[in-house]
Amino acid sequence: MEIVCAAHAFSTLGHPDRLAVFRLLMRFAPHGQRPTEIAATLGLKQNTLSHHLSDLAACGLIRAKRQGRALLYSVDLDAAEALIGYLALDVGRARPDLVATLLATRDRTMADTGFNVLFICSGNSARSILAEALLRDLGKGKFNAFSAGTRPNSALNPFALDLLRRNGHEVEMLHSKHTSEFQDEDAPVMDFVFTVCDTAAGEDCPPWPGQPITGHWGLPDPVKATGTEAEKALVFAQTYAALRRRIAAFVELPFESLGRIALQARVDEIGTDTAAEKKA
């Protein structure tokens, strides 16, 4: 990356709100977000956000893609990699005391068993609970499944519990937990962290210990479904089916032969349901 381009990018990110927009979009990468969703999450006015998005696009850090009548903004991961590389390798001269940890974990392969996997949503009462139960039963003993919420409810959703029971899952050990329980010193170190709702992905959580692979597998909140009891139950069943497809594809990945970069790409692909649909 040329110094002029790098200076432009760093200058753009020097504004707290623009940096907040970029950080938020990185949590959803490689997926995009609508300006209304970004503004609501960060508490920004639409006209102010428009200026920030324009500035970030002008320096090449994000790009816009039209989807129907809406624009989706996403991070240009190649540009982000170039900027991080410039800071670490050019400015920092690849000093081992600065980048040794980053270089050591960049593309190592992972073991093929004993993975700790955390699913996060806002309330930890439905989607993340469904995902925890599914991975526990589909994981063939290779995974330790956990779930948590950024603002957990005190009780699990009865539709979710009924759905799990009818599909043969044990529910006695399931309960709502806060994400902070998994960031204590004594908490298990996660290998994978997945957000299954947009609210959780937008939360300003601290970095996870151990540099886990992260993925955004956002799905609409079935708890917000309206209508008759049967119509609500159908929405929960559709959410369960979508999660089952994704988790079934995830557990079949050849973990022992994939480096972290390739594995991250496969996790991102599953988040779009591409790999999950092939598996189905």
CA distance 27 to 37: 13
Which tokens sit at 128?
């993340």
Out of 56, 197, 201, 249, the active site residue is 197
Of the candidates 192, 182, 197, the residue with the CA atom closest to the CA atom of residue 243:
197
The one catalytic residue among 89, 205, 234, 237: 205
Tokens of 154: 């005190």
Of the candidates 20, 121, 126, 145, the residue annotated as catalytic is 121
Query: Does the annotation mark 5 as catalytic?
Result: no
205 noted as active-site residue: yes
Contact 195, 218 (CB under 8 A): yes
Q: With 0-12 CB in 10 A as exposed, 13-18 as middle and 19+ as buried, what is 248? A: middle
Residues 92, 201: Cα–Cα separation, whole Å: 31
Question: Is 197 tagged catalytic?
Answer: yes
- How far is the C-alpha of 115 from the C-alpha of 104, rounded, in Å? 19
Matching residue, tokens 């982000």: 80
For residue 47, the SS3 value is helix
Q: Is the dihedral of CA 88, 90, 92, 93 positive or negative?
A: positive
* HSE-CB of 148 using CA atoms within 13 angstroms: 18
Max Cα-Cα span within the chain: 63
User: Which positions are annotated as active-site residues?
Assistant: 121, 197, 205
